[in-house]
Structure 1
Amino acid sequence: MNFAYYWYEAAHALVTPARMMSDAARLTFNNPINPLTYTPYGRTVSAACELFERTTRRYGKPAFGLTSTVAEGRVCRVREEVVWQRPFCRLLHFDRGGAAKRLGQPKLLIVAPMSGHYATLLRGTVEAFLPTHDVWITDWVDARLIPLSEGSFGLEDYIDYVWEIMQELAPNLHVLAVCQPAVPVIAAVARMEAENDPNVPISMIHMGGPIDTRRSPTAVNLLAQERGTDWFRRNCIVKVPFTQPGFMRDVYPGFLQLSGFMAMNIDRHLTAHWEMFEHLVDGDGDSADKQREFYDEYLAVMDMTAEFYLQTVDEVFVKHSLPKGEMTHRGKPVDLTAVRRVALMTVEGERDDISGVGQTRAAHDLCVNIPAALKLQHLQMGVGHYGVFNGSRFRQEIAPKITAFTHHVEEHAGVRKPAEAVA
């Protein structure tokens, strides 16, 4: 299995000439001075060439591309800045300038998942909160770009990073964990509470996270339970090839992760690409652009360190250490009953096929010492996993509820003047 990465790199190198020729043909049949450009034949050839080029391309890390927002009626320019950095993560701040800062809006840290895609997968999440919050996001680094000399990065290191970032942004910080980070975020909060850390956040929001995967187990959960950690170690872990800065680092590579993502809904992806082909032939540029935008993001993947991946599989999906009260961090127990000062909101999707209904809500049953007035559970009907943090229903229904919750928590803590209560 350790040669899989080399075969992958070789395959990309071998197909490069064909991809270049295909792209040249596409440009030829898109050229406005070519009479064939305006014929069904020309559009068909161009569409076929574009699909071949796109399906054989290696997609790089996308940009957030968020340059402005409107906060309380004021147009604010958005400037992306790195405010904290470690070998495996950068903390990005979406600075909206002095006028927005004077609005005194809640501070929101979005903890992006380290599960194959870049943090830019949450572009829509960030964009939705920019008008109402001062936003930061964790930008995890592709493991194949990190030299082996920087050491390892496991689940405990992830918790350390989250803990340190929360201290950096304190006080009065709200933390939003999307999917996979639900476990390390709630673990970091529990450890901070146990240590009576004054920089503990005032709320945590978990969206589609695997707090207790024994509830409504999905195909992903059942696969991990059935195969066990050793199977994933044997079949999913490879070494980064010599062509990359992370040469010899053990990783779970992005291309294998993407294969798994695609296999779960292969019929949907095949249909989407066929529809894109038809849109291109028909000259429906708007519909084709929407699919281009989605797949430019979806097909851009990163490697994650083997130790983090395997520890997460073992602790979260095989042993269920957190809900059983058996999880530890640096030799100390992760006790969710220690959480008393941090408000809790959970969001789930009715059709989520990654984190089943009830898995995230389990946090309420485990954090028994959070006052009822500081707890909120929301089940969003009609959305799957992606729809929990992106899309029209997220923007119209979920994001406003999260905003109302953060305001409610700040009113309860005396950070802001009372306003309308959370619905």
Structure 2
Amino acid sequence: MLYALHELAYVSAQPWRLGAQAARQFWTSPFNPLSQTAIGRTAYASAELFESVTRRYGKPDWGLEVVTVNGKPVRTVQQVVWQSPWVKLVRFARHVGDLKRAGKPSSAPSVLIVAPLSGHYATLLRGTVEAFIQDHDVYVTDWENARQVPVLEGRFDFYDYVDYVREMLGQIGPRAHVVAVCQPGPPVLAAAAVMAAENDPNRPASMTFMGSPIDARLSPTVTNELAEQKPFAWFSSNMIHTVPLPYPGVGRRVYPGFVQLYSFMSMNEERHRDAHHEYFRHLVAGDGDGVEKHEQFYDEYLAVLDLTEEFYLQTIDLVFQKYALAKGELEHRGRPVDLSAISDIGLCTVEGEKDDISGVGQTQAAHGLCPNVPEDQRLLYVQPGVGHYGVFNGRRFREEIYPRVTDFIAKNEQLVSARPKTAA
């Protein structure tokens, strides 16, 4: 019912949005003598603000057709190299001639960036991907919005996620490197353990976890405390809703993206309110830079996707209530997930000092859980002065975190290359 009411509210506001668009055109028309007056600018800003907070935000574009490498433009082409109804494996293929002009080799370590499936699209990692393109052959998991997947396609749960990570590593080929940002930490670590236990030739050469809840018992945040305080039945009863028409996934039970968005925004209500007040002021003043910065952030932040009921509830149960992986109690397809089986896969953990989503300690717990990773294949790093998003985006990420991670990957790439092929 909530989902249907949400859609009804959106449709009901359509006439008002059309009116706001008309007002925006009227007050910016060069033929309107009041367009550059205080009254005109204020009226325009009011219409623009109303339209921006009531419209539907679709999946953003990657916008990485050209990236700068060593100060030179390098063209990229997005290639879907494998897909299922739930996810596409996207490769950002770099133009060989452009790389040569930029002084970079055409061959580079393959890196699978596993984007979080937690309410936002994979494009949230645009800055992450742009950085890794500098030195790697980059692949990204582009997860599908559950409301777009027909019910006939079946279920998608936590264990399917593990299988898909394994499948995508297999598609890339032997000994690629995997980078898990936030939510994917536990299923990616589980996939690596399963592959290591089976001596899978496509097991990763290294794994990097950034702001991931590997052990959510440590340094609990507001998000962790909510998961602990509420019984499992509460999440099932209050957070799961049915996809309405006209979406292809009509009838599917999901955790709607707009519910998570409202939850996150309520946690920082004052900050978001102040941001929109500043946006209004920038519109009135004609400050294009301020307007563009606000719109770039919120065009991404307000674009959300739905998660399947089974995936969301299993994540709550296994990661945030039972701590199954951290306790050594996780099973996958009837077999225990043995983290001690990981012995030739590098392990890097990156945390933010001010992370209020995955507290300091939750990600680096992976080091204690993987006792057989050689010491020379480990990196534990805590970035001072950044919160959750600063771990994988922004200036500190580009200047301080990424160089450490790429050096770690390069080191493990050399170690793998130096081993006899029978051992790899």
- TM bin (shorter chain): over 0.9
Give the % identical residues.
Answer: 54
> Aligned to 1:292, which of 288, 291, 295?
295
> Aligned to 2:86, which of 85, 88, 97?
88
1:419 maps to none
Q: What is the one-letter code of the residue matched to 2:231? A: G
- 1:213 and 1:49 map into 2 onto residues whose CA distance is 43
> Aligned to 2:119, which of 116, 120, 128?
116
> Aligned to 1:331, which of 330, 334, 358?
334
Contact persistence 1:228–1:318 (CA under 8 A): no
Deviation at 1:67, TM superposition (A): 1.1
TM-score w.r.t. the length of structure 2 is 0.96
Contact persistence 1:380–1:388 (CA under 8 A): yes
1:403 maps to 406
- 1:74 and 1:44 map into 2 onto residues whose CA distance is 42
1:373 maps to 376
Q: What is the one-letter code of the residue matched to 2:270? A: D
Q: What is the one-letter code of the residue matched to 2:307? A: M
2:163 is equivalent to residue 160 of structure 1: yes
Deviation at 1:74, TM superposition (A): 5.5
- For the aligned residue pairs, the C-alpha RMSD in angstroms reads 1.3
1:65 maps to 63
- 2:29 and 2:121 map into 1 onto residues whose CA distance is 34
2:275 is equivalent to residue 272 of structure 1: yes
2:422 maps to none
2:189 is equivalent to residue 186 of structure 1: yes
3-state secondary structure, aligned to 2:183: coil
After superposing the two structures, state which structure 1 stretch, 398-407 or 26-35, moved more.
26-35
Deviations 1:86-120 (A, max 9, x none): 01000111111234495322111100000000000
Contact persistence 1:218–1:353 (CA under 8 A): yes
TM-score w.r.t. the length of structure 1 is 0.96
Contact persistence 1:110–1:177 (CA under 8 A): yes
Contact persistence 2:342–2:373 (CA under 8 A): yes
- 2:12 and 2:369 map into 1 onto residues whose CA distance is 52
> Aligned to 2:173, which of 170, 189, 201?
170
Contact persistence 2:175–2:201 (CA under 8 A): no
Contact persistence 2:82–2:88 (CA under 8 A): yes
Structure 1 gaps, min length 5: 417-423
- 1:228 and 1:409 map into 2 onto residues whose CA distance is 42
> Aligned to 1:204, which of 202, 207, 225?
207
After superposing the two structures, state which structure 1 stretch, 133-142 or 165-174, moved more.
165-174
3-state secondary structure, aligned to 1:36: coil
Deviation at 1:40, TM superposition (A): 1.2
> Aligned to 2:46, which of 45, 48, 53?
48
Deviation at 1:72, TM superposition (A): 5.4
Deviations 1:132-160 (A, max 9, x none): 11111000000000000000000000000
2:37 is equivalent to residue 39 of structure 1: yes
Residues 73, 46 of structure 1: CA spacing in aligned structure 2 closer, same or farther, 3 A cutoff?
closer
Structure 2 gaps, min length 5: 420-424
Deviation at 1:345, TM superposition (A): 0.2
Q: What is the one-letter code of the residue matched to 1:79? A: V
Aligned length: 414
